[in-house]
């Protein structure tokens, strides 16, 4: 069995949905399970809905209607008849969303986030499934929340692998085409949970692992895994083959093509991963599989924007010892601060961090009680795998280098533009 994953960019409009059908017709779809993300920027739009729910109730309805309107327009272009069943199914989903917003009593932001955000995937897969049937590609739509079970760590659920494998194996018909949602799961109370932002890749890997799939293919708007993000670097080149180890390293440092958690379950069962273009689906793309001989022979560049470089030092010039660092990391964990680089000296400790949940202001007040706190906002973290002098020069030119760290294979530089 094969697992395909189509992201938001591939289904951002009616032409995108039609192209998914075209890709399936070109590459085949027997014995296939397809994981589909929310359409286009729907996740961002639903985040606005959530923000308005908590902060601007007067704008809540308008933001909800924007999301409805966007999807309705796509359906109008895909289906000739407004009496088509898809319109009723999608309307029912949006009615459920509006009912939740009206009736919810929980003040827990992360809980509300997961209950609202998941409608993006539910609506997109409903539209894709009905359209494929319209063009005679028979398929079965499944609610992934009935298959992937997690704890109640909302916004970053941890998979219960035993329950999940049992449900997937019992439910999935390997001989048919199945359409389901990425990013989502559910807890023991059947409330929606999410697997972390961009978690649809991870969903594909979960299904592959549980079903013993022959491969996973992630369909992107790029020809495969490139050695650099073409938005920031000129002359990016395609990496034809890379090892699991190298892909995990690139994902860990922030390469956006592959989600960091995706590779671990695939590696455990040696299931190959392909990253291919939905624009040119017959091109080979990039394959990720076992083998030390698959390391790239070119420098790979990764950039993370909007980082924060935080420096902490003791108030009395005493050493920064293990107990200090342990306390700091406990606070990072509590406030969900992602640490991307660490460097320490006798009396100071510097970290490049990512404040995904806007918790840094609250955290910094706590840190200031015990440490001298200084920081630079909106810095960029550049990582170069397999660096050399030329690649280092590319990154450092016309930038102020705030911090540099070098290991055998990897160079990391924090810069201010």
Task: Name the least confident of 227-236, 247-256, 373-382, 386-395.
Answer: 247-256
- What CATH number has the domain bearing residue 23? 3.40.1160.10
Q: Is residue 237 part of a domain?
A: no
Shared domain for 308 and 208, answered yes or no, is no
CATH number of the domain within which 398 lies: 3.30.2130.10
pTM: 0.88
Gap between the Cα atoms of 113 and 49, Å rounded: 9
Q: Tell whether 149 and 12 lie within a shared domain.
A: yes
User: In degrees rounded to 5, what are phi and psi of residue 236?
Assistant: -65, 140
Same domain, 171 and 306: no
Q: How far is CA 13 from the centre of its chain?
A: 20
Residue 259, pLDDT score:
75
175 and 39, same structural domain? yes
Does some domain include residue 65? yes
Same domain, 71 and 192: yes
Residues 205 and 313 in one domain: no
Higher pLDDT, 336 or 122: 122
Which residues, other chains included, contact 105 with Cβ-Cβ below 8 Å and sequence gap of 6+?
none
- pLDDT, tens digit (0-9, with 9 covering 90-100), for 258-283: 877 899 999 999 999 999 999 999 99
Closest C-alpha to 352, from 399, 298, 415, 274: 415
Mean pLDDT of 209-233: 94
Contact 165, 18 (CB under 8 A): no
Identify the band that residue 294 occupies on the pLDDT scale cut at 50, 70 and 90: low
Q: Using the predicted structure, report yes or no on whether residue 368 has a pLDDT greater than 80.
A: yes
- Judgement on whether residues 70 and 174 belong to the same structural domain of the protein: yes
Q: What is the pLDDT of residue 293?
A: 66
The answer as to whether 30 is a domain residue is: yes
Residue 104 and residue 334: Cα distance in Å, rounded?
A: 26
Q: Within a domain: residue 48?
A: yes
Counted domains in the chain: 2
Please indicate, yes or no, whether residues 58 and 173 belong to a single structural domain of this protein.
yes
pLDDT one-digit tens code per residue, 129-144: 999 999 999 999 999 9
- Kindly state whether residue 330 falls inside one of the protein's structural domains: yes
Averaged pLDDT score across all residues of the chain: 94
On the 0-12 / 13-18 / 19+ scale of CB atoms within 10 A, 249 is buried
Q: Is residue 249 part of a domain?
A: no
In a shared domain, residues 315 and 202: no
> Which residue has 């695939």 as its token pair?
266
pLDDT tens per residue, range 146-173: 999 999 999 999 999 999 999 999 999 9
Q: Is residue 304 part of a domain?
A: yes
Of 165, 188, 213, the residue that ends a domain is 213
201/64 same-domain check: yes
Q: Is residue 280 part of a domain?
A: no
Look at 2 and 257; give whichever has higher pLDDT: 2
| 342-360: pLDDT as tens digits | 998 888 899 999 998 899 9
Residues 209 and 309 in one domain: no
Flag whether pLDDT at 287 surpasses 90: yes
pLDDT at residue number 323: 84
At 20, phi and psi to the nearest 5? -60, -45
SS3 track for the chain: CEEEEECHHHHCCHHHHHHHHHHHHHHCCCCEEEEECCCCCHHHHHHHHHHHHHHCHHHHHHHHHHHHHHHHHHHHHHCCCCCCHHHHHHHHHHHHHHHHHHHCCCCCHHHHHHHHHCHHHHHHHHHHHHHHHHCCCCCEECCHHHCCEECCCCCCCCECHHHHHHHHHHHCCCCCEEEEECCEEECCCCCEEECCCCCHHHHHHHHHHHHCCCEEEEEECCCCCECCCCCCCCCCCECCEEEHHHHHHHHHCCCCCCCHHHHHHHHHCCCCEEEEECCCCCCCCEEEECCHHHCCCCCEEEEEEEEEEEEEEECCCCCCCHHHHHHHHHHHHHCCCEEEEEEECCCEEEEEEECCCCCHHHHHHHHCCCEEEEEEEEEEEEEEECCCHHHHHHHHCCCEEEEEEECCCEEEEEEEC
Distance, CA of 124 to CA of 180 (rounded, Å): 10
- Whether 175 and 27 share a structural domain: yes
Domain housing 178 = 2-213
Query: How high is the pLDDT of residue 174?
Result: 93
Domain edge (last residue) among 197, 213, 229: 213
CA distances 103 to 26, 61, 106, 107, 122, Å, are 46, 14, 9, 12, 20
> Domain boundary residue among 191, 213, 235?
213
Chain segment 51-84, per-residue pLDDT in tens: 999 999 999 999 999 999 999 999 999 999 999 9
């Amino acid at each position: 069995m094969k697992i395909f994953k189509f992201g938001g960019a591939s289904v951002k409009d009616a032409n995108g949905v039609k192209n998914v059908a075209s890709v399936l017709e070109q590459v085949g779809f027997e014995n296939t399970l397809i994981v589909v993300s929310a359409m286009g920027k729907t996740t961002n739009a639903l985040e606005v809905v959530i923000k308005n729910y908590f902060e601007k109730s007067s704008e809540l309805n308008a933001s909800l209607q924007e999301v409805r309107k966007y999807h309705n327009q796509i359906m109008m272009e895909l289906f000739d008849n407004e009496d088509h069943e898809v319109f009723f199914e999608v309307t029912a989903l949006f009615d459920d969303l509006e009912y939740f917003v009206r009736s919810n009593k929980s003040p827990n932001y992360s809980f509300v986030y997961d209950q609202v955000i998941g409608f993006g995937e539910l609506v997109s897969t409903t539209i894709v499934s009905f359209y494929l049937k319209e063009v005679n590609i028979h398929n079965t739509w499944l609610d992934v929340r009935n298959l992937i079970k997690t704890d109640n760590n909302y916004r970053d659920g941890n998979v219960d692998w035993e329950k999940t494998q049992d449900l997937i194996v019992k439910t999935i018909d390997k001989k048919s085409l199945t359409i389901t949602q990425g990013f989502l799961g559910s807890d023991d109370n059947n409330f929606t949970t999410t697997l972390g932002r961009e978690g649809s890749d991870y969903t594909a890997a979960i299904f592959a692992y549980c079903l013993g799939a022959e491969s996973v293919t992630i369909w992107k708007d790029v020809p495969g895994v490139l050695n650099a993000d073409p938005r920031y670097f000129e002359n990016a080149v395609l990496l034809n083959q890379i090892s699991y180890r190298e892909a995990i390293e690139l994902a860990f440092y922030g390469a956006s093509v592959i989600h960091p958690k995706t590779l671990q379950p695939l590696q455990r069962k040696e299931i190959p991963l392909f990253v291919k273009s939905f624009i040119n689906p017959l091109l080979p793309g990039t394959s990720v599989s076992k083998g030390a001989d698959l390391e790239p022979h070119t420098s790979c560049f990764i950039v993370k924007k909007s980082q924060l470089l935080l420096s902490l030092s003791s108030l009395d010039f005493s050493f920064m010892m293990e107990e200090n660092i342990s306390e700091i990391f406990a606070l990072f964990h509590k406030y969900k601060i992602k640490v991307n680089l660490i460097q320490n000296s006798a009396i100071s400790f510097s970290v490049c961090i990512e404040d995904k949940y806007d918790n840094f202001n609250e955290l910094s007040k706590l840190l200031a009680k015990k440490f001298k706190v200084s920081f630079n906002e909106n810095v960029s973290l550049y990582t170069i795998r397999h660096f050399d002098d030329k690649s280092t020069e590319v990154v450092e030119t016309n930038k102020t280098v705030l911090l540099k760290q070098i290991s055998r294979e990897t160079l990391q530089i924090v810069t201010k533009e």
